[in-house]
Amino acid sequence: ILNVEQSPQSLHVQEGDSTNFTCSFPSSNFYALHWYRWETAKSPEALFVMTLNGDEKKKGRISATLNTKEGYSYLYIKGSQPEDSATYLCAFRTGNQFYFGTGTSLTVIP
Amino acid sequence: DSGVTQTPKHLITATGQRVTLRCSPRSGDLSVYWYQQSLDQGLQFLIQYYNGEERAKGNILERFSAQQFPDLHSELNLSSLELGDSALYFCASSVVPSGGSDTQYFGPGTRLTVL
């Protein structure tokens, strides 16, 4: 079983602050890295699918970068809003397997 | 609403029993994935089907099996249930077979409680 680590485990920020968190994964046998946003009592919602080293993706105030050689991806949220409060989950795909991190729980305080 | 439907929403059953969870993918999606989220563990990948064929297998127990039908809906069968099988079971779908680089859309999940 591969290890996918996310840090920090939880984060509290003030509305308007920018924040970022990390997903670390093995640097070998990389196929894709997925980011999901998961609100309580809902199902995971896809944010990004990243496949190439150096990839940068953006969706509104949320962006992500990927470094497959060193095995990490960063997720950035600019100007956090209360509605950004959720768990942000990454999933590493190698071959035919998906490995999920345990997520970063973000709380944005109004 | 992702367009993926799962039934039932909740299921309560006893140890030793067998249950079937059902998933209908988004219109046009050919791949279906099953995931398990237990209380003490994160999301675990179970199995993937593409257009009726098994495509990838994760940490799926031998007591569990799945299939995808010609109309592309999928069923996850769980048998000889144990207390530890209590979990939230998600289904997700995507368009392409590889799935690795394709966006997956998750259903609302089925919460299984084994008493």
DSSP A69-110: TTTEEEEEESS--GGG-EEEEEEEEETTEEEE---EEEEEE-
Q: Quick check: B58 and A97 CB within 8 A?
A: yes
Predicted confidence (pLDDT) at residue B10 exceeds the cutoff of 80: yes
Closest-CA distance of chain A to residue B79, Å: 23
Chain B residues whose beta carbon lies within 8 Å of the beta carbon of residue A51? 100-101
Whether residue A44 lies within 8 A of chain B, CB to CB, comes out as yes
Q: Are A25 and A78 in contact (CB under 8 A)?
A: no
Q: Are B59 and B82 in contact (CB under 8 A)?
A: no
Q: Name the residue with higher pLDDT: A88 or B97.
A: A88
Average pLDDT over chain A reads 93
A51: left (phi over 0), alpha (psi -120 to 50) or beta: alpha
Mean pLDDT of all residues in B39-45? 85
- pLDDT at residue B101 in the model: 67
The Cα B59–Cα B50 span in angstroms is 18
Band the pLDDT of B13: cuts 50, 70, 90: very high
Among B90, B92, B85, CA closest to B40: B85
Q: Which stretches in chain A have pLDDT values below 50?
A: none
Closest-CA distance of chain A to residue B106, Å: 6
Chain A residues whose beta carbon lies within 8 Å of the beta carbon of residue B103? 46, 49
